[in-house]
C-alpha cells in the first residue's frame, strides 16, 4: 500500500508506518507523482499485462469533484500516450458497497458530530445574512445561475452568520451544506440537533432560511436540475464533493469560484476591528503567560513540561473577554514557546 502525505510530519511517519505494508511517498517532491498520475501508472501497467480496466474505489462524499476529474483525465492521458483504444482506468463510486473504511470501522465508527450552532451577531459580522444573500443573488444573475451551492464549512459559517464548537477541533464551524435559489428558498442542510435553540431559529428565520436534513442536499440539487428547464447550478468543483457535482448535467453546471470567497477575503470594518481586538487580548494573555513561566523557570528554578506550558497559556487566554476555545493547540518546545493565534479563537 502507498500513502501520500501532504503534511511535513515525515519523520513521525517513518517511525510509525509498518514498512512491510506501507510505502511513504513524500508529496511535493520531484520524484513523487501526484495521486492521479500514480493511479494512471498503475492502470496502464495492469492494462498492458491483462488488457483489463483498472478500477479505483472512490467515496464521492470524501473526494472533491476536481480530484475525480483529475483522475479521469490522467486515465485518458495514459491511454492516449500509449495508443490504447480502450478504458485503462475508471472510477467506482462504491454506491453498491459503501465506503470500505466505514465497513472496517463497523459499529465503532464515531457518528457525525451534531454540535449546536450559535448565532454570530451583527456586532461581530458587520453584515447580516439577508445582505449577504442579496449580494450573492446579484452575482447569480450575472452568471446566469438558478441555484448556488455552498459545501465548505467556512462558507456556511460566514454566509449564515453561525458558529459551532465541537464539530471540528479548534475551528468554529459546523457540518452543513447551504443552497440559494435565484428567486426562491435559502436552505441550510444540517442535523436538527444543530438548530434547536430558539436564538438560532429566530436568527435563521429573520433571513428566511429554511432548515432541511443534511442528507437531502444531493437529491434536492438533482430535483432542481430535473424540474428547471434551464437550470444552472453554480458551484466550485475544487471545493465541492464529487457526490454533488456528478448529479448536475454538464450543460447545467457553472463551475467557478463562488461569490462567498471574495466576500470573506475583503473584511469589513467590523471584522477588521474584531481581528485587532482578538490580537490585543491574546497579546495580553501571552504576556501574562510568559511572565508566569519566567517566574517559575528563572526565579523558582522549576522544571516546566510542555503540558504545563500549554495549561498556563490556555489558562491566561481563557481569562480574556470573548474567549470560547483555542484556535490552535499550543506548540511548546523545551527552549522556545511557539503560540499561534488566529482570529477565530475569540468570538469577535
Angstrom distance (rounded) from CA 115 to CA 331: 26
Written as one string, the DSSP assignment of 83-117 is: T--S--EEEE--TTT--HHHHHHGGGSPPPP-PPE
3 state DSSP class of 142: helix
Please give the DSSP secondary-structure letter assigned to residue 297: I
Query: Which pLDDT does position 77 carry in this prediction?
Result: 92
Nearest to 99, CA basis, from 60, 129, 134, 138: 60
Query: Which pLDDT does position 214 carry in this prediction?
Result: 97
Across the beta sheet with 186-189, the strand order is: 209-212, 186-189, 177-181, 147-150, 233-235, 253-255
3 state DSSP class of 257: coil
Angstrom distance (rounded) from CA 162 to CA 154: 10
Retrieve residue 333's grid coordinates: 518546545
pTM: 0.86
Query: Which pLDDT does position 184 carry in this prediction?
Result: 84
Count of other CB atoms within 10 angstroms of residue 105: 11
**pLDDT of the chain along its 348 residues, tens only?**
444 444 457 888 888 999 899 998 888 888 899 999 999 999 999 998 999 999 999 999 999 999 999 999 999 998 887 787 788 999 999 888 888 899 999 999 999 899 999 999 999 999 999 999 999 999 999 999 999 999 999 999 999 999 999 999 999 999 999 999 998 899 999 999 999 999 999 999 999 999 999 999 999 999 999 986 789 999 999 999 999 999 999 999 999 999 999 999 999 999 999 999 999 999 999 999 999 999 999 999 998 888 899 999 999 999 999 899 998 888 776 444 444 444 445 555
Q: Residue 62 belongs to what H/E stretch?
A: none
Please give the DSSP secondary-structure letter assigned to residue 344: G
Query: Which pLDDT does position 337 carry in this prediction?
Result: 42
- N-to-C CA span, the chain: 45
Radius of gyration of the chain (CA): 24
Retrieve residue 88's grid coordinates: 485503462
Query: Which pLDDT does position 86 carry in this prediction?
Result: 80
Query: Which pLDDT does position 227 carry in this prediction?
Result: 84
Retrieve residue 347's grid coordinates: 468570538
Angstrom distance (rounded) from CA 182 to CA 136: 9
Amino acid at each position: 500500500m502507498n500513502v501520500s502525505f501532504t503534511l511535513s510530519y515525515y519523520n513521525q511517519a517513518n517511525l510509525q508506518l509498518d514498512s512491510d505494508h506501507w510505502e511513504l511517498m513524500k508529496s511535493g517532491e520531484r520524484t513523487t507523482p501526484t495521486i492521479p498520475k500514480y493511479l494512471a501508472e498503475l492502470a496502464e501497467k495492469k492494462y498492458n499485462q491483462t488488457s483489463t480496466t483498472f478500477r479505483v474505489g472512490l467515496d464521492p462524499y470524501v473526494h472533491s469533484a476536481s480530484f475525480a476529474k483529475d483522475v479521469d483525465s490522467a486515465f485518458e492521458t495514459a491511454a492516449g500516450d500509449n495508443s490504447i483504444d480502450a478504458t485503462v482506468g475508471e472510477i467506482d463510486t462504491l454506491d453498491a458497497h459503501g465506503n470500505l473504511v466505514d465497513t472496517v470501522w463497523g459499529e465503532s465508527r464515531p457518528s457525525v458530530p451534531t454540535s449546536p450552532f450559535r448565532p454570530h451577531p451583527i456586532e461581530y459580522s458587520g453584515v447580516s445574512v439577508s445582505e449577504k444573500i442579496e449580494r450573492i443573488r446579484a452575482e447569480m444573475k450575472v452568471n446566469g445561475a438558478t441555484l448556488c451551492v455552498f459545501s465548505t464549512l467556512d462558507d456556511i459559517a460566514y454566509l449564515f452568520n453561525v458558529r459551532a464548537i465541537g464539530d471540528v477541533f479548534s475551528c468554529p464551524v459546523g457540518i452543513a451544506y447551504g443552497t440559494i435559489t435565484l428567486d426562491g428558498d435559502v436552505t441550510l442542510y444540517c442535523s436538527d440537533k444543530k438548530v434547536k435553540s430558539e436564538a438560532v431559529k429566530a436568527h435563521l428565520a429573520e433571513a428566511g432560511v429554511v432548515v432541511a436534513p443534511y442528507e437531502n442536499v444531493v437529491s434536492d440539487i438533482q430535483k432542481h436540475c430535473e424540474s428547471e428547464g434551464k437550470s444552472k447550478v453554480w458551484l466550485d468543483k475544487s471545493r465541492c464533493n464529487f457526490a454533488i457535482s456528478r448529479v448536475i448535467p454538464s450543460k447545467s453546471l457553472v463551475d467557478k469560484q463562488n461569490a462567498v470567497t471574495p466576500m470573506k477575503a475583503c473584511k469589513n470594518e467590523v471584522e477588521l476591528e474584531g481581528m485587532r481586538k482578538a490580537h490585543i487580548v491574546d497579546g495580553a494573555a501571552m504576556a501574562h503567560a510568559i511572565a508566569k513561566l519566567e517566574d517559575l523557570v528563572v526565579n523558582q528554578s522549576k522544571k516546566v513540561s510542555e503540558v504545563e506550558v500549554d495549561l498556563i497559556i490556555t489558562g491566561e487566554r481563557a481569562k480574556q473577554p470573548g474567549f470560547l476555545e483555542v484556535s490552535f493547540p499550543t506548540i511548546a518546545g523545551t527552549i522556545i514557546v511557539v503560540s499561534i493565534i488566529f482570529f477565530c479563537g475569540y468570538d469577535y
